[in-house]
Chains A and B, each alone.
Chain A
């Protein structure tokens, strides 16, 4: 689980599970709003990402925009996780 494609696949699967849709329907350009994931769903996803990739994601639900973790789109989330994984391995 160290390569970009694998991270993207797993992120899409986790988001799809939360959104109750098929993973193949999750596009990298989708926002959480597009996927119908609300703030509580997001907190669950963050937890799932941390468990899956063994990383710690700096995220405070009170100020999601200020957190040092971009959740604007699926692609941004994947990039953020890859960066945190690299730092953890670093």
Chain B
């Protein structure tokens, strides 16, 4: 089996329009959640989100591109360009023939569905733009990334709700580790912040009207975000041979299914994914210094996740740090694990632990070190990234400092 390292990272999300801006915001514990701005927002009861603001697609893409790029594809291409530029890889010849793109998204082109349903139902039009289907399909972002960068290997999109990008990155990791390809582009993207997207979530009654406060006793729900996180996963020897900068090493993963309930999380399912990732990576549990939590800020997730971590780590659970950066960028649903992987990279490479902001009251059911409100300097050797999705589908990644 080959070692797998991350040699490029890119993002756009509510905290920043690239990786340095995002990490700076995480270090400062800045909140990217604010008032939503889009058509018909006044008809929503949930009016906040981690929306990407100050972003003008027309300044980045031309008219022909915009007719094909839903917002989730735009985010993907921006983050992908940053990641691939940082990696310094040029995809041609044998490398290009084997390198592919594996991305996660839960909803795909949600705002394209929304705009066009509005057009035919509300506005009564009988004709839609010819590219509606290629624009909204869940694999559009992966396909455009592959076209733009000449990535001709295995490429596909994974859709497992809130665990989509962790499942996607697990697949890319597996492809490089097994030797199928020397490099893969991977991550996830989501853009559900439009009227129909938020209205659908409102129905579940799990959204907060004011803030995302993971692990805090007074938490009252999740807050949606949007954006993308894209990475270059590369064979370690390949990266070393060309002198590439290595951001972190991916050392293992595990996936599990609760097989229990369509929305309520299961402690056992989460614990099996966490302990499975440790076993796959071949590491002792006390080597883990940081966990980027799923930490949605709902009553159900946070206490279940803390119980699962306590079960897996035993007494070491009291010594490790676990924060939820969703408090800052919101829940990016299918893209969330990708943006959160940046917090793991920051912990391993820079020795800075991103905080859980908005933390106000301890909850005895979440009695772990959640790095409340302020970032912390700490040397971390191994970090985990948790994702536990609706439908009971879980994926946990393990990373190591290089």
Which chain B residues border A39 with CB–CB below 8 Å? 264
Interface size class of B (residues with CB under 8 A): 10 to 19
CA distance A60 to B299 in the complex (A): 10
Interface 9-residue window, one of A19-27, A29-37, A40-48, A76-84: A40-48
Cβ distance B43 to chain A, nearest Cβ, rounded Å: 12
Whether the Cβ atoms of B205 and A46 lie closer than 8 Å is yes
Interface size class of A (residues with CB under 8 A): 10 to 19
Which chain A residues border B16 with CB–CB below 8 Å? none
Determine if B219 is an interface residue (Cβ-Cβ < 8 Å): yes
Cβ distance A76 to chain B, nearest Cβ, rounded Å: 18
Of residues 253 to 276 in B, which have CB atoms within 8 Å of A's CB atoms? 262-264
Determine if A62 is an interface residue (Cβ-Cβ < 8 Å): yes
Residue of B nearest to A42 (CB): B205
Whether the Cβ atoms of B203 and A60 lie closer than 8 Å is no
Please pick, from B209, B221, B263, B298, the residue contacting A40 in the complex, using a CB distance under 8 A.
B263
CA distance A63 to B45 in the complex (A): 17
Which chain A residues border B263 with CB–CB below 8 Å? 40
Which chain B residues border A46 with CB–CB below 8 Å? 205
Determine if A61 is an interface residue (Cβ-Cβ < 8 Å): yes
Determine if A59 is an interface residue (Cβ-Cβ < 8 Å): yes
Which chain B residues border A59 with CB–CB below 8 Å? 205
Which chain B residues border A43 with CB–CB below 8 Å? 203-205
Interface string of B206-220 (1 = CB under 8 A from A): 111100000000011
Cβ distance A39 to chain B, nearest Cβ, rounded Å: 8
Which chain A residues border B219 with CB–CB below 8 Å? 62
Residue of B nearest to A56 (CB): B45
Whether the Cβ atoms of B264 and A62 lie closer than 8 Å is no
Which chain B residues border A61 with CB–CB below 8 Å? 204-206, 221, 299
Residue of B nearest to A59 (CB): B205
Cβ distance A68 to chain B, nearest Cβ, rounded Å: 13
Residue of A nearest to B263 (CB): A40
CA distance A66 to B219 in the complex (A): 12
Most buried by B among A43, A61, A62: A62
Please pick, from A40, A47, A63, the residue contacting B299 in the complex, using a CB distance under 8 A.
A63
Please pick, from A40, A47, A62, A66, the residue contacting B208 in the complex, using a CB distance under 8 A.
A62
Whether the Cβ atoms of A40 and B264 lie closer than 8 Å is yes
Please pick, from B205, B264, B300, the residue contacting A60 in the complex, using a CB distance under 8 A.
B205
* Besides the known contacts A40-B263, A56-B45, 12 further A-B residue pairs in the complex with CB atoms under 8 A apart: A40-B264, A59-B205, A60-B205, A60-B220, A61-B205, A62-B208, A62-B219, A62-B220, A62-B298, A63-B220, A63-B299, A66-B220
List of 7 A-B pairs having minimum Cβ-Cβ separation, nearest first: A62-B299, A61-B205, A62-B221, A62-B220, A63-B220, A43-B205, A61-B206
Would you mind naming 11 contact pairs between A and B with Cβ atoms under 8 Å apart?
Answer: A43-B204, A46-B205, A56-B45, A59-B205, A60-B206, A60-B209, A61-B206, A62-B206, A62-B219, A62-B299, A63-B299
- Give me the interface of A with B, judged by CB distance under 8 Å: 39-40, 43, 46-47, 56, 59-63, 66
- Give me the interface of B with A, judged by CB distance under 8 Å: 45, 203-209, 219-221, 262-264, 298-300
